Amino acid sequence: MFRFIILISLLLPATGFSQLYINKTKSQVKQELNKRFLKKDSISASITETDSTLLLKIRGAGVTEADHIYGFDRSGKCSTEKIVTWCDSCHEKLLQQLLADKKYNWKKINMNQYVSDFSESLFIEVQVMDDVYSFTILKFSLNKKMYDFLLEKNN
């Protein structure tokens, strides 16, 4: 039983890494994803690249199967991260891992949206369509006054 708990605790951090790539370049993101996933025997992972996106597909026993889509702005920096799963419990597990990160101090502003502290400038939008569950992390550019208004309006 102890070994099982250790194994699970080692696998959980590998799935809860969403917002770590916002503001990084495509080459930095790709390099870090390669190090983190492509060299693990127990995980089947592949990366597909376009001009403005990276798609990481994670499959395998003992991991939460998901597609991670990283979008890059004109300056080449990661501005969006979208995580797609196909089961409610998988989606909820990944979302709760993200929301548990105290660095961002996530605040729920409505049924499907969260906002980080102003200093982090991140926004999460949750989407569910049929059997596809996803959430997208976006960098926002609100000024402090608009940010405060958003929080006041939704509290």
Has residue 128 got a pLDDT over 50?
Answer: yes
User: What pLDDT sits at residue 2?
Assistant: 34
> If you search the block for the tokens 């059997």, which residue do you land on?
131
Total domain count, the chain: 1
User: What pLDDT sits at residue 9?
Assistant: 33
Has residue 3 got a pLDDT over 50?
Answer: no
How many Å apart are CA 108 and CA 123, to the nearest integer?
A: 10
- Is-contact 20 14, C-beta < 8 A? no
The domain containing residue 66 runs over which residues? 2-153
- The string of pLDDT tens digits covering residues 40-66 is 666 788 999 999 999 999 988 778 899
User: What pLDDT sits at residue 16?
Assistant: 44
